[in-house]
Structure 1
Amino acid sequence: MLTKTYAKYKSYYADNLRLAMPIVVSQLGHTLVHLADSVIVGHFAGTLQLAAVSLVNSIFMLILVLGIGIAYGLTPLIAQENGKKNYNECGRLLSNSLVINFITAVFLYAFVHFGTLTMIDHIGQTPQVVAYAKPYLGYLAVSIIPLMIFQTFKQFAEGLGFTKQAMFVSIWGNVINVILGVIFVKGMFGIAPMGVKGVGLSTLIDRILMASVMSVYVMRSQYFKIYIRKFKLGFDKIKAIKIIKIGAPVAMQYAFEISAFSGAAILIGTIGAVEQAAHQVAINLAAVTYMMASGIASAATIKTGNNFGKGDLKDLRRSAIASYHVILLFMSTTAIFFTFANSILPYIYTEDPAVIGIAAQLLIIAGFFQLFDGTQVVGLGVLRGMGDVNIPTIITFIAYWIIGIPLGYLLGITLDMGVNGIWYGLTFGLLTASLLLFIRFQHRTKLLIRTYAEKKST
């Protein structure tokens, strides 16, 4: 049985992984920035400032994924137009996406600067944690603008199947971020110790450099000349609507999931700073595997978009199912790793025994939700490739905000199960999303196959 399945999908495994691996590394870049921030602060600035990183990342990630989601609307459209060999349309889409993403970035910065920095005082968090959090959040707010420029050119290149370039930019960006972060936080080479705000400054510098390098590469590389012949900075209402019709629902999908985890972090913050720091450790590690799964899902979007553009539904389904197989194997491996290394991994972040003890428990729960987290993000990726984004958005809202967070509150706060109970609620939300999205994929692809068959017969 397994041998027969492997033979059937072997070529799809190879194609998907070849496309996915650079995206995985690139996607990890976003998470590794925050992971590096947590590690540096945890070792050089202490538990209170680590809790501040947890609070800021929980709030900022929600804002960040709104921007990333809008930018992501470009990728399936580029993949579909490339599949149809409409090269000039790719350049027009890029120019409109750049304008949309810049406007989005300015709006998100203003939202953080004038709204979130004030709101953070009134959500029941430890006052010392809030005091450390504010300057860090201020730097991250400014970094949204260069990040969205980077995302524009990254999503364009990846939609065309050029995935290695963003990977290399992300790798070098993270190296620079870590080096500068240690220098600023610890205080080296005559610079006064900056604490947690030092990692905010290093992240801003890193993202400015990444945006500069990626934009210059795309605009000057010979690989993209055929695609950017019609690139002209401007705004076309019809093309902008096409991008937003996909980007806005994707942003909401990200927002519903990330806001659920952000909401969980705020609930945990009302329990205590130690629990909040432990949550940051466990969620950071889980986020690493999630972003790797997200890279596989992005590759699934590109392959699905290409096959959808060509009208090749047989390859579309097989490629998508192969992505499900890959993610199940990968997430099963990471689940086992989290379970058996649960008491060791927290030492990467901190030496506080209280934080380590709680984080070790959470990593066992994280081991279970790895499978559901991976399959739901692949399901979303495949459906995006077909332009199916509205129903999946409703599914994510139901899974996280009708089921996940209320159940987490019931178990964690009402029934006094603490941080573990909140995580059980999140796990059940992920399970719900995973199952409903797979059902949607099966229904959608089988309906398309029937529709294409009827068209051919008439």
Structure 2
Amino acid sequence: MYQTNSIGKKLQLFVAILYPILITQLGLFAMSFFDTLMSGRAGAFDLAGVAIGSSLWVPIFTGLNGILLAITPIVAQLNGGGEKEKVPFSVIQGIYLSVFLSIIIIISGFFLIDPILQAMDLKQEVQLIAKNYLVGLSFGVIPLFIYTVLRCFIDALGKTRVTMIVTLMSLPLNVGFNYLLIFGKLGLPRLGGAGAGYASAITYWFIMFISLYVVARKRPFSTFKIFKTFYRISLSAWKEQLKIGIPIGFAIFFEVSIFAAVTLFMSEFSTVTIAAHQAAINFASLVYMLPLSISMALTVVVGFEAGARRMDDAAHYSYIGIGVALILSVICGLGLYFYNEPIAGLYTKDMEVLKLAAHFLLYAIFFQLSDAIAAPIQGALRGYKDVNVTLIMALVSYWVVGLPIGYMLANYTHLGPFGYWVGLITGLAMGAVTLFSRLLIIQKRQKEKYKDAKAK
């Protein structure tokens, strides 16, 4: 990261940070896609088992992983404020915290996986595959969370191309081990869908070791000497990270889990409706990688400028990010409008499912517009370390407004299943409006605070 003196230079730097993050997110999305695709080739039970296991794992992972994202604004502000000597301590404490959270997940899973799966109405074969998939995945939880901290450190310095390269290196490895373990090639046991869990765990160890090597040996990361000094566990440092991270984690959890809740409510409709909904949601999730990546990039640049007390520059980056997201969302919206049926055709050849999925995708256009405002603003607010109000806004927008409206429209109007999508759009739109007002308040408050500090 470095200071820029014009909007054009800011846009150039922002895009340079953004595009590797986007490719990284698409790469991570592709891993999940190949897990599902290759498990489906092994059999229907394997596909269902991996789908169930993944649906249990993803909300937990995204929520707890969100806690560790606190490292990005902390390091970005320290770097921007010229306090680089404090960075190693924060990163090491983040690693300690990641291991602690990983152990909690593994122990909890040991006691809870069986009761949860048994409470679900699943065939015995599907239940066993889902359990074995999660058991395999558990061997990679610790390296995955350590990698998250290292990635946050790397990204906070603006070197997002590094994590992009690591992800692109790991993708073929993940696909290769999926092939070997799911189908039992080269003398390895045929594990079916469960093999996808073990393949992911191996991949997580790989990306952790690569990241450790990069941080320890490659400049500019090696200049911070992250591992040179032994630091004891500091509960006060954990408290600082959790103070920022817990609201981030819960805000992400509320957003991810609302879609899972809608899918559960959709179960009252026909199989065709559920299949169409899942196809449309999957593609909407793919497109969401755009505003999500912009959000992550904004956390880096806004955090850097806020740490340097250049509040006007931080505000400029915020609006650049929102502007880029809106332009991309309009392009995506036009694509969804004109090509909704061909897109739906990627998921199914059943004409009834295809037509319904294409209809759902029209509603996804409005998703993109709301996400183009809400997601970047969340990233900018994290750069300012303003996360508590964002958590409340997420809870109210999605669960107090969006889901109840969706339920009412789906069950008491002619909209039927589309009512849930209208509810989600309403919640997202409310979140976008309230978050934008919060951003304006924080920017004004930060400028006044900086002026007062200069006056003294």
- Per the normalisation by structure 2, the TM-score is 0.90
Deviation at 1:371, TM superposition (A): 1.8
Deviation at 1:386, TM superposition (A): 0.6
Q: How far does the alpha carbon of each residue in 1:313-354 deviate from its partner, in whole angstroms, 9 at most, with x for none?
A: 110111110000011111222222233332233444454555
Q: How far does the alpha carbon of each residue in 1:421-457 deviate from its partner, in whole angstroms, 9 at most, with x for none?
A: 2222222211111111111001110222233334445
Q: Does 1:78 align with 2:47?
A: no
- AA aligned to 1:249 is P
Q: How far does the alpha carbon of each residue in 1:240-275 deviate from its partner, in whole angstroms, 9 at most, with x for none?
A: 222111111111111110111121222234546554
Q: Please give the alpha-carbon distance, in whole angstroms, between the structure 1 residues aligned to 2:367 and 2:65.
A: 23
Q: Does 1:122 align with 2:104?
A: no
Q: Please give the alpha-carbon distance, in whole angstroms, between the structure 2 residues aligned to 1:221 and 1:297.
A: 27
Match of 2:289 in 1: 291
Higher relative contact order (CA 8 A, sep 6+): 1
Q: Please give the alpha-carbon distance, in whole angstroms, between the structure 2 residues aligned to 1:299 and 1:163.
A: 9
> Can you give the 5+ residue segments of structure 2 that lack an aligned partner in the other structure?
none
Contact between 2:180 and 2:186, CA under 8 Å: does it hold in 1? yes
Match of 1:397 in 2: 395
Contact between 2:81 and 2:308, CA under 8 Å: does it hold in 1? yes
Q: How far does the alpha carbon of each residue in 1:58-90 deviate from its partner, in whole angstroms, 9 at most, with x for none?
A: 332110112221110101000000011111210
The 3 A distance-change label for structure 1 pair 54 and 278 is: farther
Match of 1:137 in 2: 134
Q: How far does the alpha carbon of each residue in 1:254-303 deviate from its partner, in whole angstroms, 9 at most, with x for none?
A: 11101111212222345465544444332222222222322211111111
Alignment partner of 2:451: what SS?
helix
Contact between 1:24 and 1:293, CA under 8 Å: does it hold in 2? no
Match of 1:225 in 2: 222
Q: Please give the alpha-carbon distance, in whole angstroms, between the structure 1 residues aligned to 2:124 and 2:403.
A: 25
Q: Please give the alpha-carbon distance, in whole angstroms, between the structure 1 residues aligned to 2:451 and 2:35.
A: 53
Q: Please give the alpha-carbon distance, in whole angstroms, between the structure 2 residues aligned to 1:344 and 1:187.
A: 35
Matches within 5 A, 1:29-40: 29-40=27-38
Match of 1:4 in 2: none
**2:199 equivalent among 177, 199, 202:** 202
Q: Please give the alpha-carbon distance, in whole angstroms, between the structure 2 residues aligned to 1:131 and 1:413.
A: 35
- AA aligned to 1:372 is S
Q: Please give the alpha-carbon distance, in whole angstroms, between the structure 1 residues aligned to 2:49 and 2:358.
A: 20
Match of 1:406 in 2: 404
> Can you give the 5+ residue segments of structure 1 that lack an aligned partner in the other structure?
1-6
Q: Please give the alpha-carbon distance, in whole angstroms, between the structure 2 residues aligned to 1:407 and 1:129.
A: 34
Q: Please give the alpha-carbon distance, in whole angstroms, between the structure 2 residues aligned to 1:242 and 1:179.
A: 40
Q: Please give the alpha-carbon distance, in whole angstroms, between the structure 2 residues aligned to 1:179 and 1:126.
A: 29
Which segment is superposed worse, 163-172 or 285-294?
A: 285-294
Deviation at 1:407, TM superposition (A): 2.2
Q: Please give the alpha-carbon distance, in whole angstroms, between the structure 2 residues aligned to 1:227 and 1:75.
A: 15
Contact between 1:51 and 1:280, CA under 8 Å: does it hold in 2? no
Match of 1:146 in 2: 143
The 3 A distance-change label for structure 1 pair 360 and 187 is: farther
Deviation at 1:53, TM superposition (A): 4.2
Which segment is superposed worse, 82-91 or 108-117?
A: 108-117
**1:88 equivalent among 85, 89, 93:** 85
Q: Does 1:27 align with 2:25?
A: yes
Contact between 1:81 and 1:90, CA under 8 Å: does it hold in 2? yes
Deviation at 1:54, TM superposition (A): 4.1
Contact between 2:136 and 2:195, CA under 8 Å: does it hold in 1? no
Q: Please give the alpha-carbon distance, in whole angstroms, between the structure 2 residues aligned to 1:81 and 1:131.
A: 47
- AA aligned to 1:96 is Q
Contact between 1:100 and 1:240, CA under 8 Å: does it hold in 2? yes
Q: Please give the alpha-carbon distance, in whole angstroms, between the structure 2 residues aligned to 1:351 and 1:320.
A: 42
- Per the normalisation by structure 1, the TM-score is 0.89
Match of 2:279 in 1: 281
Contact between 1:67 and 1:105, CA under 8 Å: does it hold in 2? no
Aligned length: 451
**1:372 equivalent among 370, 373, 397:** 370
Alignment partner of 2:405: what SS?
helix
Contact between 2:290 and 2:325, CA under 8 Å: does it hold in 1? no
Q: Does 1:45 align with 2:43?
A: yes
Match of 1:18 in 2: 16
**2:105 equivalent among 83, 104, 108:** 108
Q: Does 1:57 align with 2:69?
A: no
Deviation at 1:163, TM superposition (A): 1.1
Q: Please give the alpha-carbon distance, in whole angstroms, between the structure 2 residues aligned to 1:413 and 1:186.
A: 44
Deviation at 1:403, TM superposition (A): 1.3
Q: Please give the alpha-carbon distance, in whole angstroms, between the structure 1 residues aligned to 2:347 and 2:192.
A: 15
Q: Please give the alpha-carbon distance, in whole angstroms, between the structure 1 residues aligned to 2:348 and 2:131.
A: 22
Deviation at 1:118, TM superposition (A): 2.1
Q: Please give the alpha-carbon distance, in whole angstroms, between the structure 1 residues aligned to 2:356 and 2:113.
A: 29
The 3 A distance-change label for structure 1 pair 397 and 137 is: same
Q: Please give the alpha-carbon distance, in whole angstroms, between the structure 1 residues aligned to 2:126 and 2:415.
A: 24
Alignment partner of 2:233: what SS?
coil
Which segment is superposed worse, 160-169 or 280-289?
A: 280-289
